[in-house]
């Protein structure tokens, strides 16, 4: 009797293991959508320098995710997330007028110029938990990793009424820092493929250490009114809302 019970338990465990082994263990997907900036990254105010706000607008987001689904409800996910966010030049013009008029005797002026874009990315890994069955799954994940960023380049001109043109330039720089992500999504499986919708909140505190700033009168041969290398800390919080398709193998 005992031998039969042991044999039955063994057969049950083997059957469970075999079922787990047949479960598709590799999920690879590509998703596209929107990158919504938050905190310093989206801040549109100037205080003592141009470096205080990111002035980032909602931009383009993409991510590539690979999940090793070890059992039906638990797996490990590795994800690369990329974001491209333009700077809000209209908001910067308004803030520049407000700030300069309030902190100097420059008087009325006009301003114009070009502003580059923020490029950010994150390489992350961590656990995920799945709920659901019959082809529809809800996924919750928490990931840690590395955040990377490239700051925008500014080329700006200020022309006081009846005065001399003053030009502001800021060069781009790169930064790397620790990053984290909390995300959730819905996956719908059909055959060897699946569709997914994701919402991911990611954050990294990027310190751009070598941001070269020039602020001068271009008609002055010395061009040395301000010419310095500065640091810029930007708390880069982004919510990605994406949808995509994947393959199970």
Which pTM does this prediction carry?
0.79
CA 162 to chain CA mean position, Å? 43
Task: Tell me which range, 2-6, 22-26, 190-194, is most confidently predicted by mean pLDDT.
Answer: 190-194
CATH number, domain 24-248, options 2.40.50.140, 2.40.160.20, 3.40.640.10, 3.50.50.60: 2.40.160.20
Question: From CA 221, how far away is CA 226, in angstroms rounded?
Answer: 13
- Residues 6+ positions from 107 with CB-CB distance below 8 Å: 101, 160, 161, 163
Region 7-30: mean pLDDT is: 57
**What is the tens place of the pLDDT at every residue in 176-227?**
999 999 999 999 999 899 999 999 999 999 988 877 766 666 566 655 556 6
**What is the tens place of the pLDDT at every residue in 117-155?**
999 999 999 999 998 877 899 999 999 999 999 988 877
Question: From CA 65, how far away is CA 124, in angstroms rounded?
Answer: 9
The two tokens of residue 63 are 């991510």
Point out which residues pair with 84 in neighbouring strands. 60, 119
Region 37-46: mean pLDDT is: 86
Domains of the chain, residue spans: 24-248
* Residue 84 reports pLDDT greater than 80: yes
What is the pLDDT, as a whole number, of residue 5?
A: 40
Question: From CA 226, how far away is CA 50, in angstroms rounded?
Answer: 13
Q: To the nearest whole number, what is the mean pLDDT of the chain?
A: 80
Report how far apart, in Å, the C-alpha atoms of 230 and of each of 65, 107, 210, 217 are.
36, 27, 6, 20
Percent of the chain whose predicted confidence (pLDDT) is above 70: 70
What is the pLDDT, as a whole number, of residue 18?
A: 43
């Amino acid at each position: 009797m005992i031998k039969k019970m042991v044999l039955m338990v063994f057969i049950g465990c083997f059957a469970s293991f075999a079922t787990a082994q047949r479960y598709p263990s590799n999920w690879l997907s590509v998703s596209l959508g929107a990158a919504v900036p938050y905190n310093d990254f989206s801040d549109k105010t100037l205080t003592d320098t141009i470096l205080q706000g990111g002035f980032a607008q909602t931009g383009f987001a993409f991510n590539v995710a690979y999940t090793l689904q070890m059992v039906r409800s638990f797996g490990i996910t590795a994800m690369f997330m990329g974001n491209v966010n333009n700077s809000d030049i209209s908001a910067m013009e308004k803030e520049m007028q407000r700030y300069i008029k309030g902190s100097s005797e420059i008087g009325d002026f006009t301003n114009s110029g070009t502003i580059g874009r923020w490029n950010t990315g994150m390489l992350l890994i961590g656990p995920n938990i799945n709920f659901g069955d019959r082809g529809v799954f809800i996924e919750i994940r928490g990931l840690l990793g590395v955040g990377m960023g490239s700051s925008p380049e500014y080329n700006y001109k200020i022309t006081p009424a009846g005065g001399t043109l003053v030009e502001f330039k800021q060069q781009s720089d790169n930064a790397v820092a620790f990053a984290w992500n909390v995300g959730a999504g819905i996956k719908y499986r059909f055959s060897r493929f699946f569709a997914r919708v994701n919402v991911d909140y990611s954050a990294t505190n990027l310190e751009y250490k070598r941001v070269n700033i020039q602020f001068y009168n271009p008609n002055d041969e010395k061009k040395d009114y301000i010419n310095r290398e500065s640091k810029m800390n930007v708390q880069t919080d982004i919510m990605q809302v994406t949808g995509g398709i994947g393959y199970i193998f």
